[in-house]
Structures are given as C-alpha cells and as structure tokens.
Amino acid sequence: MVQFDKYDDSNIFARIIRGEIPCKKVYEDDKVLSFYDINPKGAVHILVIPKREYMRFQDFCVLSTSQDVAHFFKILNQIALDVSKKYSGYKITINNDTGGGQEVPHFHAHIICQ
Ligand code: AMP
C-alpha cells in the first residue's frame, strides 16, 4: 500500500487554505475551515479540515493538541447538525491513506446527507 510520507504543501486543500484556490465556504475560524465538496456524493457534501498541516487522521490526533482535536470535532458536529436539518441524518467519513481511499493528503472529514 502506498502511504503519504511527507506533508506536501502544494496539495489542493493547502492551496484553498492559503486562498490560492476558491472554495464555497461553510464555516471558518482560526483553526478550522469547512467548504462544499466540488464533486458531491450526496444531496449535501461538505468537507471540514484543520488549517494546520496534518496529512492524515492519526497525524492530526497525535501531533495536534487535545484542545485543537476537541475543537475540530465540536465544529464538525455543529456543522453536521446545521446542514442536516432537512435530512433524516448524515454520514461522517474520514478516508485515511491511499489504501483507505484518501486522495488529498491533508486530513479532512466528509459530511454527507443523502
Ligand atoms: P478524499 O478521497 O477523502 O481524499 O476526498 C477528497 C475530496 O476532495 C473528494 O471528495 C473531492 O471531490 C474533493 N475535492 C477535490 N478538489 C476539491 C476542491 N478544489 N474543492 C472542493 N472539494 C474538492
């Protein structure tokens, strides 16, 4: 299995964070950015990412502070609740490493409503 081994700051989400590429923003604070997925796999498909450079889920959990991890998941929960009001529920997906279906090497969570 191929794994990402070093953070590549030319990845598409790093470029979105730097404002080099536009996104349809859902939420932003100093640590977290959320925007609509360009290729939605449901009626609603939103991505939530930390602004700091973490390649994958375990990097975020291990290298980030507990406070930042908690903040990320509280925001993820709040966005999921807000955007799913019209739907009967939502799915949160985190793809991890290429073998886990991760294409963009910047940690992110998907929120999908069908
Ligand atoms: P993953 O397979 O978990 O790495 O998911 C990457 C996601 O990023 C896919 O669902 C893509 O459709 C989405 N994506 C790629 N480029 C962009 C972009 N410029 N703006 C918004 N979403 C994007």
The single residue listed with the structure tokens 């939502």 is: 90
The CB of 69 under 6 Å from ligand 1? The reply is: no
Which residues belong to the active site?
A: 108
Closest CA to 48 of 18, 74, 20: 74
Give the mean pLDDT per block of 10 residues along the chain (114 residues): 81 98 98 98 98 97 97 98 97 96 98 98
Residues 6+ apart with CB under 8 A from 54: 7, 60, 63, 64, 106, 107
Report the nearest atom of ligand 1 relative to the CA of 36. Answer: 21
Three-state SS sequence of 23-49? CCEEEECCCEEEEECCCCCCCEEEEEE
Tokens of 95: 């793809």
Residue 1's pLDDT is 53
Residue nearest to atom 15 of ligand 1 (CA): 38
- Do 35 and 25 contact (CB within 8 A), yes or no? yes
